[in-house]
Amino acid sequence: MQLPYSDILDIAHFSRLFDNKSECYKLFWFQAIARKIKEGHTIITFEELIDEMIADAWYMVSEYHLNLGPNDALERVVHRLGEISNMKSCEKKEVILDYLAACEDKEVLNMKRTLSQNVPYRLQAPFMESMKGKEWNRSGKNLAARINQEERLMYYFLQFRGLDTRIQIQKEWADYIEEKYEIIQGWVERNLIQYLQRRNPSVPGIVTSSIRRKRGIWKRLKNTGK
DNA sequence: ACTGAGAATGTTCGTAAGTT
DNA sequence: AACTTACGAACATTCTCAGT
């Protein structure tokens, strides 16, 4: 899919954002960022984003039993939540978010931390051609410092404090993403659908669904009988 | 051209070490 | 003691290239 052109932003690299992934974190992570931008935020904590990711994953895992990845922490958090809470599989999103924000469960917190360990840094790897392979095998703090030196990235790290770490979206990117939100959202979704289809070959019709809004995907999935 | 084995690259997680 | 951070092994995916 062709992403909208911009003469100030590095769209060539941006379009390769999801080239490499073994789990689905990147997709959810970016989707969460885009949504926050749409809501007008440009400074966001890890925790807010991760809560969004979990809420998004909630429906897919608990209601449709999709497999999100070979060893996916997102999937595990959802299962854990299912055990300790009595939220329904179709629970309202705000309820899930509230629950997550207040949740003190050790395991959940642990998994949240696991989720924050890699994706936040590696998402921007396509922009940083100078960093190869093993160079990514460093600590978060180290990486954050390294990434902050790079130019023309989508976001930078403000402070480094576990889940409270904040990122700041660059204004140009925020504008771009907000303005083209629908297109970008569709692009992310397409990637996500492709990924899910590959992971769940036995569930028919994820790819063939051309519906753009998420609710549409859920509906379609339901109709195909899973 | 097509296939598949093996190599190369990239991603995530668990454990151990370090801090407060 | 509890929480953070560092490190590298394990696993997944993609690439390469010989052999057909």
What pLDDT shows up at residue A204?
Answer: 64
AA letter at A212? R
| Nearest nucleotide (CA of A140 to C1') | C5
Mean pLDDT, chain A, whole residue set: 78
User: Of the candidates A5, A3, A51, which has an alpha carbon nearest to the alpha carbon of residue A29?
Assistant: A51
The CA–C1' separation of A156 and C5, in angstroms, is 20
Least confident of A6-10, A74-78, A142-146, A178-182: A142-146
Nucleotides of C under 7 A from a protein CB: 3-9, 11-14
- Residue A1 forms part of a structural domain: no
How many domains are contained in chain A?
Answer: 1
- Residue A216 forms part of a structural domain: yes
- Residue A4 forms part of a structural domain: no
Tens digits of residue pLDDT in A107-118? 788 788 888 877
AA letter at A24? C
Q: Using CA atoms, how far apart are residues A52 and A80, in angstroms rounded to an integer?
A: 16
What pLDDT shows up at residue A7?
Answer: 85
Cβ atoms within 10 A of the Cβ of A198, count? Answer: 10
Domain range for A186 is 11-223
Cβ atoms within 10 A of the Cβ of A107, count? Answer: 14
Instruction: Answer for A142: CB within 7 Å of strand C.
Output: yes
Nucleotides of B under 7 A from a protein CB: 9-14
- Residue A5 forms part of a structural domain: no
- Residue A39 or residue A223, greater confidence: A39
- Residue A3 forms part of a structural domain: no
What pLDDT shows up at residue A185?
Answer: 87
